[in-house]
Structure 1
Amino acid sequence: MSVNSSQDFIRGDARGQSRMLVTAGLSALVVLIIGVTVFSFVYPRATAPKGTDLHLVLPALGPGVENGSRVLLRGAEVGEVTSIDSSEPGVVHVDVVLDDHAAGSLTDAFELDYRPQNYFGVTAVNLVAKQGGSRLRDGQTIRREAAPDFTMSTMIERSSIVVDGTLTRDMIDSLDKVMRYANGLAPLIESGVILTDAVARTQRQMPSTLLSRMNDLAEEFPAFNVGAMNLLEAIGNNVLNRLPDGSRGVDEAYYDLMDRSLTVASTGLFGAIGTLLGSHATDLTPLVTSLKYVLDPMPNMIGDASMQKTRKAIDQLRNSFTGPDEAKTLQLRLLLDAMPAVAGPLSQMGAVAGTWSGGN
């Protein structure tokens, strides 16, 4: 028992609406099949690169090479990889397509390697042109026994192997010592930089002026050398290095005499003094104490008012002497008014009563 449904957006009766829905469904299915066919077979063939097809038989495939990978020649993109087959043991079959211009500039003697296409490490097939060989043909098969791998992944892997084999504990300890030594040299390097900067700041003249001054110093340098040599000659060729017969050498007798003299002075003189002081320490204590009491006031006398009075008295005494240096005269004046016992005898000597003045 069939059930017909009425569609409001389709005109007609139920039978007509059913026919129209079936027709629309079949049309959509046909369009879908055509689209899948076009995108599956027609579009790839229409968009496939055009040029010279080459079939490469290589010993290995570089990491990251796949369908669509670029083919480079002298750094420029000249084709791409279209197919890869690694089912055969020991070899890899790689199909590439080169543009006609690049294929015309190459011969079948070219070499091949794998290397990064850009800084991001995307791997590409790199062709290196070589002399000789014949022109390339479409569909030609080329075999290569070697395909060097210069990709970034291989480089990182090999670096890891090198580090794993060489960066041992001894190597780490050696590097640590080198770093410590470098840190120790840092102050020396800094001092050199500071010295260089100081010289640069101090150098206020042109190099020609500084060199002329250096020449002035160099002119006096020979005379300085002669003086230095004469000094060394005087030091080496003196009486201490002469023997009694006048020849050069060490006067052993003289040095023995000096040695005995120093021995006698050290033991006979200073040793006796030390023995005396050590054996009569209690006898010398009163003398030392007396000297202490006598000398202790001296610093105060030199620095206080008493010293000023002493200096004034010395100055007055100096002024009492007059005349030239060879005939100094002492000027004295005595007041005898308060001495009646002296005034009488002086008056009898012809002096004025009460006073007397005389010269030298």
Structure 2
Amino acid sequence: MTEFRIPGMSASAGAYRNRALITIAAVVAATAATVVGLRAVPDGTTEITVRASSVAGGIRPGAAVVLNGSEVGVVSDIDAPAPDSYALTLDLSGDRADDALAVLTDRTVVSYAPKNLFGISAVVLTSQSGGTAMQNGSTLDAGEPEDATMTTLLRKLSDVQNEAFDPYMSDILTVAAKATDGLLPILGVAGQIMSDVAETQVVSPRTTLPQFAQLVAGVRGTFDDLLPPIRRLMHWQAPRREGFSELAEQGLSFTEGPVMDEVTALLSDSELGQTAPLMPVLTALFDRVNATFPDSRTNGIQIATLIERLRTALPAGPGGKPVLTVDAVLESAPGLKAALGRPPAHGRGAK
């Protein structure tokens, strides 16, 4: 093979090999120093482990961590060491980690909720006063965090739809249809009444409404009159006496038993049948009385009219004694009339 070398810059194959080995060794040394330096220098990451009995939908590695409304980190890992037991590693980085550790304690409340209006799930921390301050690597026992994520909300709505609404919706509609069918006649009658009132009304509501108001006032007055007797009845002390209930029960039992039995026997056919022979005699007696006093009703009316006229002619005077009222016309005695001061009678004959 023909070799092409630049004069003054040529070297042997061993020299090139040594140069390559030195270059490789230098790169390896620089890489190792870089890795050791990065591990030696703190990376500013703070980790808090949250132990909970459940993890909401949408909470996964990369989900945001929100403390008192501010996003301070992300969920770096989720582990399930045992059934119904989860360990969430919260990665708090940068200056926000120092601010978070300043308020995080073992009394911090943990919940799952959306971090924005789009429903993105996040681990929400709410600081509480008191408690032991948290440090890098500390563990926070959250128990059963409140789940207010959009996923849980939609699942609950689906459960309500499938388990509560759908199975009974047909029954509800059936009952509503039956109730509507039952009310239709009443609504029809009410509509017909209103139509008749509108067609036949001759008195304006301005006149009828005050009368209805007076009627309501009268009904109220009636209730006002009834309340005092009812109140006195409620304060009746007799039923409160010892033994009153027993005596009342005995009286009602006696009335319901022996008294009703005797009345029933007295009104039975066998008892009433014994008075049958008296019926012809009583009938003849009544006929005789009617024949003796004919037109007794007319006579009674006339007697009542006469008594009313006498009562009118004899009104009560001073001391309650009856006084006879007499109106005499003295046209034939002008002197007596003038002495008595009677006015002249117009259109009436002398008496």
Identify the TM-score tier after normalising by the shorter chain: 0.3 to 0.5
TM-score by length of structure 2 reads 0.38
